[in-house]
Homo-oligomer: A and B are copies of this chain.
């Protein structure tokens, strides 16, 4: 027996989310059927809003309701530093840390030729344009994940920017705080030894 059309369509939509297969999607669709009307209409509204009300900041590429975003338009932030991150989520993570008060630049991806992600597909060009306009920038901190794609994107950006005389740094690699040496992989250990600091 086919599911009634509205249920079948909702199952299809849930299945488009990452990590949700047919069984889970079906369970979620039937659960939705029993949810209070208000919760479901709020959910539908939230889905629509997230696409219609959020945009990329024209300066840094972070997601925002106003353009420019609250970080780019805040004059009390340190205008001499730009931290380059992959995703808007990463900006949230560094803001939650609370120790960094410079600016950001969100690439929306990393270089990955296998997935068709070249320099044109990510937000690199706007970073260069930005550096030409904002000549007070002294340091670019590259805060990309320690994956092969992250590393090669870091190298690419570094090569583009260094000739302009701007300092390019990247995050320290090493043991995560609270982690166990026994379970660390050998590349992490190698980086931890290379980057050892004096006590």
Interface residues of A (CB under 8 A from B): 1, 3-7, 9-10, 12-13, 16-19, 24, 26-33, 35, 37, 39-51, 53-54, 63-65, 87-89, 91-92, 95-96
Contact = CB atoms under 8 A, between A and B. Distances in A.
Contacts of A87: 30
26 contacts: A1-B91, A1-B96, A4-B54, A4-B64, A4-B65, A6-B50, A6-B54, A7-B50, A7-B54, A9-B46, A10-B46, A10-B49, A12-B42, A12-B46, A13-B42, A13-B47, A18-B27, A18-B31, A30-B88, A33-B50, A33-B54, A33-B63, A40-B47, A40-B48, A40-B50, A41-B48
Q: List the 7 shortest-distance A-B pairs measured between CB atoms, nearest first.
A: A1-B95, A13-B43, A10-B46, A44-B44, A6-B49, A44-B47, A9-B46
Contacts of A16: 35, 39, 43
A100 B26 CA distance: 22
Contact of A50 (B18, B32, B51, B65): B32
A133 B39 CA distance: 38
Copies of this chain in its oligomeric complex: 2
B40 A10 contact: no
Contacts of A37: 51
Contacts of A64: 4
A7 B64 CA distance: 10
A64 B33 CA distance: 12
A37 B64 CA distance: 17
A92 B1 contact: yes
A6 B65 contact: yes
B50 A10 contact: yes
